[in-house]
Amino acid sequence: MAGRVAIRGTAEEIAALLRGGADMERRVPGAEWSVGEAAAHLALANELMADIAAGHARSYGDGTPQSLAAANEQALAEFAERGAEPLAAMIVAQADACLKALEEGVEKEGAAEEDVFSPLGPMSLDVLGSYLLTHMLGHGYDLARALGRAHMIDRARVKLTLPFLITVMPRVTNTARTAGLTACYSVRLWGGGQFGVTVSDGAVSVDARPPARPDCTILIEPVTFLLMALGRCDQWSAIARGRILVWGRKPWLAPRFPALFTAP
């Protein structure tokens, strides 16, 4: 229920940003897209997620950042709509379509645990719902920044992104950064939410339960955590603002952690 409310609420808040007289030509800070292009990408991505949740096979890159970027650009080139109202309506409608497909899938005995095939690899329907929310929050944040409005990321919604992030982290490992590294991390979010990451000679595993004896514990403010995970902010500014605390037997491992992964 919480996931459904968060997905629908996020879609509606993004739509409200666009319907509030958004300048669709304005550039998104730190990105190559305009507001119109970012909104079009969100509309198309929600449609893609709805199709995947309904069991339709969709090819969309091979999971690497380069292939996903290429697939995004091709999809945008083939989809001409950049108007605020049509895109706002499509974002909400496709989020609803995805929710409906997810609910129908969960109602089938055992279907919730079966894998569907997303742009970032196989995952359960529950994780796909978390993926949808995470993706909308990332681009919703971009749109809010571009338009000078408040974003929609909060502690409760960040906690709902953890199933997706925990699933996908081993798939977005930066092997150049993990090579030769052996380390055990506990990551904890202020107010609840946690997971563990173990790197063993470059191989990465992630578990919803932190290890009993981590080398390094990272306590991080939830919104900062998600923005860092999605490549929207860097650790040094977060540390300077007191949003990250670190302790353990090897606290010097903490600054290496963000670079172990490529933002999905």
Cite the residue boundaries of each domain of the chain with CATH code 1.20.120.450. 2-152
When pLDDT is cut at 50, 70 and 90, the band that residue 65 belongs to is confident
Query: Does the structure show a pLDDT above 60 at 112?
Result: no
156-172 pLDDT per residue, tens: 999 999 999 999 999 99
pLDDT at residue 106, as a whole number: 73
Mean pLDDT of 198-219: 94
72-96 pLDDT per residue, tens: 999 999 999 999 999 999 999 999 9
Q: What is the pTM of this model?
A: 0.95
Q: What is the mean pLDDT of the chain?
A: 93
pLDDT at residue 113, as a whole number: 62
Mean pLDDT of 177-186: 95
pLDDT at residue 177, as a whole number: 94
Cite the residue boundaries of each domain of the chain with CATH code 3.30.1050.10. 170-260
Query: Does the structure show a pLDDT above 80 at 1?
Result: no
Classify burial at 86, counting beta carbons within 10 Å of its beta carbon; exposed 0-12, middle 13-18, buried 19 or more: middle
Query: Does the structure show a pLDDT above 90 at 107?
Result: no
CATH 1.20.120.450 for the 2-152 domain, yes or no: yes
pLDDT at residue 176, as a whole number: 93
Q: Which residues pair with 205 in a beta bridge?
A: 198
pLDDT at residue 225, as a whole number: 97
Q: CA 222, CA 187: separation in Å to the nearest integer? A: 11
22-37 pLDDT per residue, tens: 999 999 998 889 999 9
Mean pLDDT of 135-146: 97
Query: Does the structure show a pLDDT above 70 at 109?
Result: no
pLDDT at residue 60, as a whole number: 86
Superfamily of domain 170-260: SCP2 sterol-binding domain (3.30.1050.10)
Lowest-confidence segment of 43-47, 73-77, 104-108, 118-122 by average pLDDT? 104-108
Lowest-confidence segment of 106-115, 118-127, 131-140, 192-201 by average pLDDT? 106-115
Query: Does the structure show a pLDDT above 70 at 254?
Result: yes
CB-CB contact of 256 with 181 (8 Å): yes
**% pLDDT > 70, the chain:** 97
